């Protein structure tokens, strides 16, 4: 039973380029969460999605960042015109149902480490 998969594991971009981070949830999971971990800090919530719906994007920066979870395929976190401050580890997590109502565990992927030069 494969866990949450993220690719690429490492991504290097120059300032102004676009970064696309992919997340495939665990089999049977329909809820996806994205978190960002800056150096020497804890994880910060960014966005919560279900298939074809953004449920909570209260942690997403207002500009340049977007996320989607299409009916088919992985969830994508897209960062346009990256800046050095975007350098961080981006983690995806998935759960089988509404974690808030039932206390379901969020299962984390290995993360994508983005470095902006």
Q: Which is nearer to another protein, 73 or 100 (CB)?
A: 100
Q: Which is nearer to another protein, 13 or 33 (CB)?
A: 33
Q: Which is nearer to another protein, 38 or 117 (CB)?
A: 38
Which pair of structure tokens corresponds to residue 62?
């207002």
Angle at 37 between CA 96 and CA 32, to 5 degrees: 20
Q: How far apart are alpha carbons 53 and 46 in whole angstroms? A: 15
Q: Which is nearer to another protein, 71 or 101 (CB)?
A: 101
SS3 2: coil
Min dist CB 14 to another protein, Å, is: 23
Residue numbers of the site for another protein (CB under 8 A)?
Answer: 4, 31, 33, 35, 40-45, 48, 55-56, 58-59, 91, 93, 98-101, 103, 105-111, 113
C-beta atoms surrounding 48 within 10 Å = 24
Check residue 16 and report its DSSP letter: T
Min dist CB 32 to another protein, Å, is: 10
Min dist CB 103 to another protein, Å, is: 4
Which pair of structure tokens corresponds to residue 102?
């039932």
Min dist CB 63 to another protein, Å, is: 21
Of 1, 34, 10, 44, which Cα lies nearest the Cα of 109? 34
């Amino acid at each position: 039973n494969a866990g949450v998969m993220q690719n690429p594991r490492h991504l290097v971009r120059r300032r102004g380029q676009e970064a696309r981070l992919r997340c495939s949830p665990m089999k049977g999971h329909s809820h996806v969460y994205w978190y960002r971990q800056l150096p020497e800090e804890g994880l910060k919530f960014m966005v919560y999605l279900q298939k074809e719906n953004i449920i909570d994007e209260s942690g997403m920066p207002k500009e340049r960042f977007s996320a989607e979870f299409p009916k088919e395929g992985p969830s994508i976190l897209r960062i346009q015109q990256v800046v050095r401050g975007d350098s961080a580890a981006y983690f995806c997590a998935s759960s089988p149902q509404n974690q808030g109502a039932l206390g379901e565990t969020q299962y984390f992927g290995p993360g994508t480490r983005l470095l902006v030069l």
